[in-house]
Amino acid sequence: MNSSRNLLVLGATGQIGKLVSRNLRRREANFSVGTRRKVKLAELADQFGSSRFIDLDDPRTFDEALKNITGIFLLTGYTVDMLVQSKALVDAAKRNGIKHIVHLGAFTRDHDAYATVFAWHQMIEAYIRVSGVAWTNLHPNIIMQTFLAQWSLKGAMYSAYTSKAVGFSAGEDIAEAAAAILMEGPEKHNGKDYWFSADVLAPDQVAETLTAATGRKFTAAVVKADGFQNHAIQPGSAYENAYAKGGFEFFEQVEDGRMAYAGSVIDDTKKLLGREPLSLMDWAKLHANELLEAAGYEAQP
């Protein structure tokens, strides 16, 4: 490890960014978390050790936020603004001499990822590659933390938007790998793409796994792919319409075979961390009470 690294983590108030930050703190890394909410700066500094003000919609805040930073964990919100936000931040990273960008993307494969959001991530990655800044891209399949969304398991029924088996990855694996990559730096990880798809399951298998892990009955129902778009834009959702459309397109293209590779096990957790990735069963046991709450059951004592 290089103790001279000074890292900046974006998205620390979200599921994955928070886990990345926790892993970095546990490893005693030198890092700050970024936020656009000035009222959160003290709270986040107390939680993670250091915080910096950065507003991804205002590039004028970038130079100060990136002062003396050597590596960035790049994670944006679920809006089409991710395109201009990422471009502006990459430009600022190059201008400020940033040595390494670790980007959280999607489970894409060259030339056949045409769902909106997947194409956006590929465009961002292409821009990073030609920026001159060292880069590493993380490509997770469906992240298991999505099961904790209030609409995902309503009434203990898993709403699947494709009948096909798809791959799942634990946010814990992605975040621990991201922290290791940030600390080990571009000397080891420059120009690398890493994949996270550890457990491939059909809808009924997902329900059976959640039932076995929690001890309470879960069922599964396959709904039309556009059901994702309808659910994802409910009040309080983190998704905007354009981003939700990308989810609909993904499930539609998995169902008709254009993105069949989403049903593949391709996982670099063991390569990066020296251990096996979490299966859905492993993950569901860790989050049993949260899953029960999301499903409307009472949590176990």
Q: Could you tell me the end-to-end alpha-carbon distance of the chain, in angstroms, rounded to an integer?
A: 41
pLDDT digits (tens, 9 = 90+) for 255-294: 999 999 999 999 999 999 999 999 999 999 999 999 999 9
Q: Is residue 270 part of a domain?
A: no
Predicted confidence (pLDDT) at residue 1 exceeds the cutoff of 50: no
Q: Is residue 115 part of a domain?
A: yes
pLDDT digits (tens, 9 = 90+) for 155-206: 999 989 999 999 999 999 999 999 999 999 999 999 999 999 999 999 999 9
Q: Structurally, how many domains does the chain consist of?
A: 1
Alpha helices in the chain (DSSP H): 15-26, 41-48, 62-65, 82-95, 116-129, 171-184, 186-189, 203-214, 226-232, 241-255, 269-273, 280-286, 288-295
Q: Is residue 185 part of a domain?
A: yes
Q: Is residue 15 part of a domain?
A: yes
Q: Model pTM?
A: 0.92
Q: Is residue 71 part of a domain?
A: yes
Q: Is residue 272 part of a domain?
A: no
- The predicted model gives 77-98 an average pLDDT of 95
Q: Is residue 74 part of a domain?
A: yes
Range of the domain at 41: 7-143+169-196
Q: Is residue 234 part of a domain?
A: no
pLDDT digits (tens, 9 = 90+) for 216-268: 999 999 987 665 555 555 555 556 667 777 778 899 999 999 999 999 999 99
CATH number at residue 87: 3.40.50.720
